[in-house]
Amino acid sequence: MSTELILVRHGESVANVTPVIGGMTGDVGLTDRGRRQAELLAERLRAEKFEADVLYASTLPRAQQTARYVSQALGLPVLDDAELQELRPGDADGLSVGEWKSRWPGLADGMWRRPFQAFASGGESWATFLARAGAGLTELVARHPGERIVAVTHGGVIEASLALVFGLGPTTARVKFALANTGVTTWRHDPAADAAHWTLVSVNDAAHLSGLAPEGDGLSAIR
């Protein structure tokens, strides 16, 4: 029996547009535009009579605030899952991107070429983040076999899901994905499949945002 895993990126956040390193300290939640994006997503879910079995969210404020809109639309409580957090920035949390680059010279420009190098002291590297995010998503699927899971998370976690399934490990050339705020990516997992267990059903579905003016890429150092 297959399991559906639906990953929703949070709405536009203050950390996205400032830009600030948005860990638990630097993340102050959504912008007005981000709240409107979440409202539009909720309206779409209601219009489509979308149903799910369980709703999870990253514990970062921007994901928690987005998840409240999804919760109201689905009639489900939000279950917190810290493993759905974005890459953990350690001591860079709350700094501006400029301050981060000044405090750790050369790190920002070289991070993706050195995948085992921490984002900052006490933070995760791209490699450790991939492992943690992949394990967290695998655990969600294992916990809810045959169910439809909605998880409100971050661009990096969705990117990690794509990278891991497509075999783009930490030492391969990084492929970046332009993921819209509140965009929806859907996976189907079938443990009984003869070959690939994962099927990518849709990626970055943001049809509910068609009435909004085009946004920037919404990408900060921590998304």
**pLDDT on residue 7:** 98
Catalytic-labelled residue, pool 10, 154, 189, 208 = 10
Check residue 170 and give its pLDDT: 83
Q: Is 113 assigned to a binding site?
A: yes
- The pLDDT assigned to 216 comes to 58
Active-site choice (4, 83, 86, 124): 86
The answer to whether residue 221 sits within a structural domain is: no
Within-domain flag for 180: yes
Tell me if 148 is assigned to a ligand binding site. Answer: no
Domain count, the chain: 1
189 annotated to a ligand binding site: no
The predicted pLDDT at position 204 comes to 97
pLDDT at res. 36: 98
pLDDT given at position 135: 96
What local confidence, expressed as pLDDT, does residue 222 receive?
Answer: 57
Residue 218 lies in a domain: no
62 marked as part of a ligand binding site: yes
Q: Residue 197 has what pLDDT?
A: 87
48 belongs to a structural domain: yes
Instruction: Report yes or no on 214 lying in a domain.
Output: no
pLDDT at residue 127, rounded to an integer? 94
| pLDDT tens by residue, the chain, 223 residues | 899 999 999 999 999 999 899 999 999 999 999 999 999 999 999 999 999 999 999 999 999 999 999 999 999 999 999 999 999 999 999 999 999 989 988 776 666 678 899 999 999 999 999 999 999 999 999 999 999 999 999 999 999 999 988 888 887 777 778 899 999 999 999 988 666 689 999 999 999 999 887 665 444 555 6
Asked whether 5 and 147 are in contact (CB, 8 A), the reply is no
Task: State yes or no: 11 annotated in a binding site.
Answer: yes
Residue 222 lies in a domain: no
For residue 137, the domain's CATH number is: 3.40.50.1240
**Does the active-site annotation cover 99?**
no
Instruction: Give a yes or no: residue 184 inside a domain.
Output: yes
Assess contact for 180 and 204: CB atoms under 8 A.
yes
Q: Is 197 a catalytic residue?
A: no
74 part of a folded domain: yes
Domain range enclosing 106: 3-209
For residue 23, the model assigns a pLDDT of 97
